[in-house]
């Protein structure tokens, strides 16, 4: 995975929105396992995360992945953060929560967005797999190459066959 800003290669960047600071060690270890140079910024509220996202958007130094708990400190939630920064977060966001997220998945992904979800408690391997899926386009996300079209201008007669194609 190569990450480039202004023509220069850089380490991957994450914004983590989580008010429970005991998760910081876990997320740090997960990110460092993916890439030892992974950089992350920690926010404990959607408001604080919004400040980091505004700065990121204005400087062009994007976060490659945003990991947000649904319920964080303050009056805004991770969902509010997504609603406010939908364009910047589409295909970069991973929601985490201890609650069942099936209804939320349908609501958030109804517009065609591809938001990933991790239900707490989750394993290190689940985290790594989910983050990698956000960082790397999946074959299903890529458009297949156009199939070449073959135009036959004259009938073909297969060799050693009585069949004639016309």
Asked whether residue 151 is domain-assigned, the answer is no
The pLDDT score that the predictor gives to residue 7 is 76
- 83 to 35, 155, 159: CA distances (angstroms): 29, 59, 64
Number of domains observed in the structure of the chain: 1
Show pLDDT as tens, one digit a residue, over the chain (166 residues). Answer: 678 777 788 999 999 999 999 999 999 999 999 999 999 999 999 999 999 999 999 998 889 999 999 999 999 999 899 989 988 888 899 999 887 767 666 666 656 667 888 988 899 999 999 999 999 864 443 333 344 344 444 443 444 444 444 4
Distances (CA, A) of 161 to 79, 101, 148, 152, 156: 66, 61, 27, 19, 11
Backbone angles phi, psi at 118, to 5 degrees: -125, 120
For 12, the token pair is 């991957």
Q: What are phi and psi of 48, to 5 degrees?
A: -65, -40
Provide the whole-model pTM. 0.77
Let me know if residue 163 belongs to a domain: no
> Both tokens of residue 61?
């130094």
Structural domain for 132, as ranges: 3-141
pLDDT of residue 142: 38
CA R_g for the chain:
22
164 within some domain:
no
The answer to whether residue 30 is domain-embedded is: yes
Distance CA 94, CA 66 (A): 6
**Is 159 among the domain residues?**
no
25 closest CA partner among 127, 119, 99: 127
Total Cβ atoms within 10 A of residue 124: 11
> What pLDDT is recorded for position 137?
61
pLDDT score at 111: 63
In a domain, 130, yes or no: yes
Tell me if 157 is assigned to some domain: no
57: in domain: yes
CATH of the domain at 22: 3.40.50.2300
């Amino acid at each position: 995975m190569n990450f480039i800003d202004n023509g220069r290669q850089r380490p991957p960047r994450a914004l983590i929105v989580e008010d429970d600071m005991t998760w910081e060690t876990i997320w740090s270890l997960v990110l460092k396992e993916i890439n030892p140079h992974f950089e992350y910024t920690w926010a404990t509220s959607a408001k604080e995360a919004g400040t980091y996202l505004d700065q990121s958007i204005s400087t062009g130094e994007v976060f490659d992945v945003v990991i947000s708990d649904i319920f964080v400190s303050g009056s805004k939630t991770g969902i509010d953060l997504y609603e406010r920064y939908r364009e910047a977060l589409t295909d970069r966001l991973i929601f985490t929560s201890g609650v069942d997220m099936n209804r939320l998945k349908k609501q958030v992904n109804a517009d065609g967005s591809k938001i990933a979800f991790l239900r707490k408690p989750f394993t290190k391997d689940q985290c790594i797999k989910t983050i990698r899926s956000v960082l790397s386009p999946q074959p299903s996300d890529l458009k297949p190459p156009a199939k070449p079209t073959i135009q036959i201008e004259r009938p073909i007669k297969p060799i050693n066959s009585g069949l004639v194609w016309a």
